[in-house]
Structure 1
Amino acid sequence: MTAVSADAKSTGIDARSGVEGPAWCEPGLTARAGRYPLAVEAPVMAAVDMLVPGVSTVTRYARYYSLYWALAAYAQAVGADRDRCGRLVRRAEVGLARISQVYDSPDHVLGLTHGVEALTRLAPAEGDEFAVADSTGSGSYSPRTWGFWSQYSGPSVALGTVAVEGGALRPGRHPCPPQVVDMYAPLFAAAERGSGVCLPSAELRGLSLQQEGDSPDLEPLRAVFTATVDGRHDLAAGSGDDRTRRATLRLLARCWQLYPQAVTWLDAFAGGVAYGSTAREDPLLAGEERTEAWRGVVLRHHSVGAWRRLWADLVAAVLSIDGASRRHLHEWVSDRLPSGTVADFESDLPPTVDGHGDPYPGERELRRSDAGVATDVAVLLLGARRLETLTGAVLRRFVGGRPTFLDPRWVALLRQEFARRPVAELGRRLVDDMLAQSRRVALRKVAVRSDGTIALFSRLHERNGVYFADSREGRDNIGLRIPQLASIATQLGLLTPDPAQPVTACGRELLELPA
């Protein structure tokens, strides 16, 4: 028997194990980066989800809508179950990537399809492309079981082109036209054989993104997106989602007509629905009830972005300070804000309304001379002041339902409380509120796994009064889906990126727009 030391006997630990410290057990808590750490995004995201059904921030190509539309019809015809559908989806996606790799130019405005980068990296042998569709792990084109269908599934179901039954793809409320099914037939046949795609091929070249002329899927997709039948819109036809999507698309197209000098689609859209007198003077915008909803959403979007930037900067400050305490973070924010009171600070801010009582683009004006933390605090204060001038549906969309932490009503109360106090003191309070909200959100998202371990979703952590962070937070604002909708409408031949001809003749006819 091996001798055991007296110290080991006294502690009950066998010295032969060589174990030190707490390594005798597995970690019970894991920390991961969480999304939406302040939970300020929900009102805008919920409204956008309702106002742009069938499009998300990750749906880039119209071609994929028709791919899954045709695949759902094909799966119904052959009785494909969940597993067979999953295999077909992955192989068809790899097939499209291979076609794009051969026929499309990366310098084109549309670029290359999903998966081309992975296909280039994996470099499967010609005729064996589907090996990267059927494999998993590092040898697969996508780590997700359903590949890029994961990005288009919700939008396709909302669009009504696909339904999911028992995990299998099935036709939605809009039946897929035979010509679209025929268009994909060669690709589905190759996917069923599992022998890869044979290129060059005149049939398969028609599936590339940048093919010339109208492909068979464009007209049917235009009809779905514009809620038209035989080129005409029927108010009694289609679902509420169909009518709402059409309404938002009409607003976007009309704003693009009215603001051709805008730098981005979103700038044109905001110029029409959110600021100035256009929304009440233009007959189309004034006659659409969703214009007011969009005004509230666009204005609230600025406050959401300010909070996200402030939080990202705070986390970056924690990463830059060794042993960051609350005092350190208070000093950090104080150094970035001007002297004087909150009232003095507000007196130099742009107005919230113009001379006619219409919303003034004060947030845009502030961003043009961005001063970091000071600008974000200013944007939050402008959002609180807008509560005094907005009414009706605009106000309802702007506030977003019941009061929540860090919403404009919360900032309005702070604005009153700190009016005659230093603006740096308000900044310190905002730091405290963000730290408290981040903790609330992280605790609300705590997940207990089946093995008994706990997952905490947060980049920022506190221990004994010291803050530390795992990584940086993103500073970008959440999307409103307007750029994605505009891009898809352009691919469908409804809009153009050319300010001289913002809407095509087809777009004007289907969306009933003035010339």
Structure 2
Amino acid sequence: MALPSTHASAAPGQSIIEGPDWCKPGLLARAGRYPLAVEAPVMAAVDMLVPGVSTVTRYARYYSLYWALAAHAERTSLDREACRRLVRRAEVGLARISVEYDSADGPPGLAHGVDAYLRLGPDDGDEFSIADASGAGSYSPRGWGFWSQYNGPSVALGTVTVRGGALRAGRHPCPPQVAAFYAPLIAAADQGCGLSLPSPALGELSLQQDTGTPDLEPLGQVLSATGDGRHDPELWTGNDATRRATLRILARSGQLNPDAETWLGAFIASVAYGSAAREDPLLAGEERTAAWRGVVLRHHSVGAWRRLWAALVEQVREEGTASREHLHEWVTAHLPDIPLAAFEADLPTVVDVYGDPAPAEDGLRSAGPGVLTDVALLLLGARRLDSLTGTTLFSFKGKRPTYLDPTWVAQLRRELARRPLAELGRRLVDDMLAQSRRVALRKVTLNRDGTISLFSRLHERNSAYFADSSEGSGNIGLRINQLAGIATQVGLLAPDVADPVTPWAQRLLELPA
């Protein structure tokens, strides 16, 4: 019986032989995100506590751009395809303006797509050719360009809605001054006639425009859930109220921690540790402060798992292949030969003399990274289950138990308290290997061509592990720096760490002077 085979065309006098169809790869290994799935509880909580901002929404200017585009699309009844074309052209136009007027060294940086614009190098007046193109000649491989990053946040903010795939005005109508501000860019993008630069009107759209532009105040009011300078709870949604609460907590944290190097550092110092969350009237009066405390403390455990897994995968890559026994030996070599209980006895306390959370994790991290540090961080996370209460405990644990969560580690603590610390390390290796396999199998995808995609960097064959590539060891984001960046751009916060909150923000957010 003849074997099924594939055939390819050949020049006259030549033959091409290809293997049978059943020799084609059927299983495609691809790099997966979140290989242990330990991030979900923190990500879900952050999504709820910072609606309208994501880890990839870096610029206030894009929020107002899409605000104006949505108003124009509704006014002119643009369909889905016309909206998509207009969005892509407007984004390329903003990149071209940024090339002309912005500096790579100035805050907040250069517009989205500038690198691709410079690489493709369209002629002046022909900018939109790379917006209308696809593939290698396009500024973005995504059909909707950078709108893909701002879509959900803009809808949550209420500046845009999507109907039938087309942009339409959201529950907050685009102010006339914002529509007029973007009118020159939208007109050029709509007509496809290119941009004529330099231009005073278009230059004002640059990200580093040093004078207040008409889009910033309306956008600041939407971010802070205020109208006419005041907050009326009856006029805003629950998402708006939550975003306002987080913004108030962030701004107050900056006031209380003027020496912090970053907004995230100030936020953590006020929310996660010490008595500020209990004693400061504003922080204590915001119920989301307690929720944030649990999220920030759980974030340490997530980071520890991610770093441990990355270290394990890197060990496999260095060896080429590794057995489970080899990985047991690897983790054992990083841990002291003492009982788990004795090791825990030397760890810093998780509460201070007043019963408030102490920065035990910060002390461990300052001693240096490594397997031992991350095992200790997991143990501290499990210990915090005994000291947290109420909303803080609920947000720390998450809505439901998950593999490798603090409760999981707490069970191991009890089970192995009198056993060597290295035995805990070996159990953690086994649990990570098992969890990564569960996650990979859960994500298996059947492709249209009949192949199967397996999303994992680590694979097992004949009891030996091998890895395609390294895992990222960085922790997931909490969106605080992104929120602070947007708030700074609209004028609510200031880059001066000694005086980080503007008078305008003090009024809108009802902050102490």
Query: 2:456 is matched by which residue type in structure 1?
Result: S
Q: Which residue of 1 aligns with 2:34?
A: 36
> In 2, Cα distance between the equivalents of 1:13 and 1:62?
57
> In 2, Cα distance between the equivalents of 1:12 and 1:494?
70
> In 2, Cα distance between the equivalents of 1:222 and 1:19?
62
> In 1, Cα distance between the equivalents of 2:429 and 2:119?
44
Contact 2:259/2:498 (8 A) holds in 1: no
Query: 1:435 is matched by which residue type in structure 2?
Result: L
Which secondary structure does the structure 2 equivalent of 1:236 belong to?
Answer: helix
How far 1:212 sits from its partner (Å)? 2.0
Q: Which residue of 2 aligns with 1:380?
A: 378
Q: 1:17 to 1:174 in 2, by over 3 A?
A: closer
Which secondary structure does the structure 1 equivalent of 2:235 belong to?
Answer: coil
Which secondary structure does the structure 1 equivalent of 2:322 belong to?
Answer: coil
Query: 2:127 is matched by which residue type in structure 1?
Result: E
Which secondary structure does the structure 1 equivalent of 2:168 belong to?
Answer: strand
How far 1:500 sits from its partner (Å)? 1.7
Q: Which residue of 1 aligns with 2:434?
A: 436
Query: 1:64 is matched by which residue type in structure 2?
Result: Y
> In 2, Cα distance between the equivalents of 1:126 and 1:498?
38
Q: 1:282 to 1:18 in 2, by over 3 A?
A: same
Which secondary structure does the structure 2 equivalent of 1:365 belong to?
Answer: helix
Which secondary structure does the structure 2 equivalent of 1:228 belong to?
Answer: coil
- Unpaired segments of 5 or more residues in structure 1? 1-8
Which secondary structure does the structure 2 equivalent of 1:196 belong to?
Answer: coil
Query: 2:444 is matched by which residue type in structure 1?
Result: V
> In 2, Cα distance between the equivalents of 1:271 and 1:501?
17
Deviations 1:457-512 (A, max 9, x none): 11100000010111001001000000000000000111112122110111111111
How far 1:323 sits from its partner (Å)? 2.3
Q: Which residue of 1 aligns with 2:211?
A: 213
Q: Which residue of 2 aligns with 1:150?
A: 148
Q: Percent identity?
A: 70
How far 1:19 sits from its partner (Å)? 6.1
How far 1:111 sits from its partner (Å)? 1.1
Deviations 1:360-417 (A, max 9, x none): 0111111111240000000000000000000111000000022111000000000111
Query: 2:327 is matched by which residue type in structure 1?
Result: L
Q: Which residue of 2 aligns with 1:361?
A: 359
TM-score under structure 1 normalisation? 0.96
Query: 1:222 is matched by which residue type in structure 2?
Result: G
Q: Which residue of 2 aligns with 1:4?
A: none
Contact 2:107/2:208 (8 A) holds in 1: no
Corresponding residue to 2:81 among 68, 80, 83: 83
Deviations 1:28-66 (A, max 9, x none): 111111111000011101100000000000000000000
Query: 1:94 is matched by which residue type in structure 2?
Result: V
Which secondary structure does the structure 2 equivalent of 1:233 belong to?
Answer: coil
How far 1:418 sits from its partner (Å)? 1.0
How far 1:230 sits from its partner (Å)? 0.5
Query: 1:372 is matched by which residue type in structure 2?
Result: G
Q: Which residue of 2 aligns with 1:340?
A: 338
Corresponding residue to 2:458 among 455, 460, 473: 460
Q: Which residue of 2 aligns with 1:446?
A: 444
**Is 1:177–2:158 an aligned residue pair?**
no
Query: 1:221 is matched by which residue type in structure 2?
Result: L
Query: 1:180 is matched by which residue type in structure 2?
Result: V
> In 1, Cα distance between the equivalents of 2:122 and 2:427?
57
- Unpaired segments of 5 or more residues in structure 2? 6-14
> In 1, Cα distance between the equivalents of 2:116 and 2:380?
45
Deviations 1:416-454 (A, max 9, x none): 111111111110110000000000000011111222211
Alignment of 1:289-304 (within 5 A): 289-304=287-302
Q: Which residue of 2 aligns with 1:54?
A: 52
Corresponding residue to 1:281 among 253, 266, 279: 279
Alignment of 1:117-128 (within 5 A): 117-128=115-126
**Is 1:502–2:500 an aligned residue pair?**
yes
Query: 1:333 is matched by which residue type in structure 2?
Result: V
TM-score under structure 2 normalisation? 0.96
Alignment of 1:95-114 (within 5 A): 95-114=93-112
Aligned CA-pair RMSD: 1.5
Query: 1:91 is matched by which residue type in structure 2?
Result: R
> In 2, Cα distance between the equivalents of 1:307 and 1:118?
35
Contact 2:30/2:456 (8 A) holds in 1: yes
How far 1:73 sits from its partner (Å)? 0.2
How far 1:122 sits from its partner (Å)? 0.7
How far 1:241 sits from its partner (Å)? 0.6
How far 1:26 sits from its partner (Å)? 2.1
Query: 1:343 is matched by which residue type in structure 2?
Result: A
> In 1, Cα distance between the equivalents of 2:278 and 2:18?
74
> In 2, Cα distance between the equivalents of 1:266 and 1:302?
14
Which secondary structure does the structure 1 equivalent of 2:205 belong to?
Answer: coil
Which secondary structure does the structure 1 equivalent of 2:453 belong to?
Answer: strand
Contact 2:443/2:454 (8 A) holds in 1: yes
> In 2, Cα distance between the equivalents of 1:464 and 1:331?
19
Q: 1:371 to 1:183 in 2, by over 3 A?
A: closer
How far 1:236 sits from its partner (Å)? 1.3
Q: Which residue of 2 aligns with 1:232?
A: 230
Query: 1:434 is matched by which residue type in structure 2?
Result: M
How far 1:193 sits from its partner (Å)? 1.4
**Is 1:488–2:486 an aligned residue pair?**
yes
Q: Count residues in correspondence.
A: 504
Query: 1:310 is matched by which residue type in structure 2?
Result: L
> In 2, Cα distance between the equivalents of 1:410 and 1:12?
52
Q: 1:212 to 1:13 in 2, by over 3 A?
A: closer
